[in-house]
Amino acid sequence: MFVILLRFSGEKDRAAELMGGHNAWLARGFADGVFLLAGSLQPKLGGAILAHATTLPELQVRVSKDPFVAERVVEAEILSITPGKADERLAFLLGGGASAGIASR
């Protein structure tokens, strides 16, 4: 599992012109089943994506194709996480089914 941090660079002003391509790139990630969640870093610092079902090299290639990354509107950082515990609703991320999760409160 991975967290992708997309932090705005000095080229932040170009985000509006590239937003359509960035949104299409995000849509492909969700359609491919790689992206689980995407959202903004506050206050207006960039974005973050939760990804799974991929390898680091594959994800690096995918991230490099984001127009925001390619045009240096954001700087990307990929953090690798080895999930150890999860709420039952996210137990699928552990690979062991619902029994691998922690009971919700």
Sign of the dihedral through C-alpha 29, 37, 7, 43: positive
pLDDT in tens, 22-71: 999 999 999 999 999 999 999 999 999 999 999 999 999 999 999 999 99
| pLDDT value at residue 93 | 86
| pLDDT value at residue 104 | 40
Beta-carbon count within 10 A of 35 CB:
22
Amino acid at 35: F
Judge contact between 77 and 7, C-beta under 8 A.
yes
If residue 76 lies in a helix (H) or strand (E), which one and from where to where? strand 74-80
Report how far Cα 43 is from the mean position of its chain's Cα atoms: 18
d(CA 28, CA 25): 5
pLDDT in tens, 58-97: 999 999 999 999 999 999 999 999 999 999 999 988 875 4
